[in-house]
Amino acid sequence: MHTYLQIIKGTIEEYTTYRVSFILWRVRLVVQLLVVYFMWWAILAGHQELFGYTQGAMLTYVLFSSFVRPFVMGTRTQEVGELIRSGNLSNYLVRPMRFLGFCASRDIADKLLNVIFAVSEIIVLYVLLRPQLFIQTSAVVILLSFVALVMGMVLFFYFSLLISYLGFWTPDVWAPRFLSFVFAEFFTGALFPLDILSAPLYLVSQSLPFYYFIYFPLKVYLGQLSSMAMLQGFLIGIVWTAGLWALERIAWSRGLRAYTAEGK
């Protein structure tokens, strides 16, 4: 445990060493959020309700998605593909720790920093923009939202790792990662709530893991899901998590057999 705590500490120190890079990263995220926020603000202008959302609910969705997104999708696992390709993975395999634990620790550090800064940025933006926000008061719903958030985080972790593991079999991990993220960007609900999609497309999105990254935790928080829909969502999410976990284990063991460390 001490080892992994040290990895978390080391990763945080790594971020704080490159302070200007870190600030640029945060500015980038705030600008991204502002673009989506103003896009929705302009679309909703003059409408009491659109796509089944009031202005308050939609702007809450947009602002809170900027918190959920880094919490769920903030990761360092994209580095794994490069570690495999360059052969540097060998340096980690000989260390007295589990590689999965190493990746998880790096991700925890990433998410910790992300969340701290995301919360402060949202507070500043709230003070500046004064949007109507929907604040959930039910403790049960807040707890369920948190569980959904953790589920999304675990799902994304395995999803991202699996894409990086492609590096065991192909030198080009960039293109599949890029493609999967274009799809993910569309189907996570980061830009818009997925229920504004046409019914068949929405049904397809529900069966994909992306649905559980951002959209599902936010819908739970907004209290817009019936108990049945929530139960169904958690069940499908758990099945996906178990499936991706199993796939990750298989890919890792088969990948290690294919790994030749030829980069070094």
Query: Total residues contacting another protein (rule CB under 8 A)?
Result: 35
**Binding residue (CB under 8 A) for another protein from 179, 203, 235, 261:** 179
Q: How far is the CB of 24 from another protein (least distance, A)?
A: 5
Listed in sequence order, the residues at least 6 apart from 137 whose beta carbon sits closer than 8 Å to its beta carbon are: none
Subset of residues 190 to 229 that bind another protein, contact rule: CB under 8 A: 191-192, 196-197
Nearer to another protein, 150 or 201 (CB): 201
**Rounded Cα distance, 202 and 197, in Å:** 6
Give the integer Cα–Cα distance in Å for 241 and 211.
12
Q: Is residue 39 near another protein by the rule CB under 8 A?
A: yes
The reply on whether position 126 binds another protein by CB under 8 A is: no
Among 8, 43, 97, 236, binds another protein (CB under 8 A): 43
Regarding 169 and contact with another protein (CB under 8 A), the answer is: no
Alpha helices per DSSP H over 166-214: 174-187, 199-206
13 or 185, CB closer to another protein? 185
Which is closer to another protein, CB of 102 or CB of 195? Answer: 195
What tokens appear for 239 in the block? Answer: 């099945």
Span between the terminal Cα atoms of the chain, in Å: 30
Q: Does 20 bind another protein (CB under 8 A)?
A: yes
The first and second tokens of residue 83, run together, are 């570690």
Q: Which of 176, 202, 229, 252 binds another protein (CB under 8 A)?
A: 176
Q: Give the Å distances, CA to CA, from 221 to 51, 138, 143, 146, 226.
A: 18, 9, 9, 9, 12
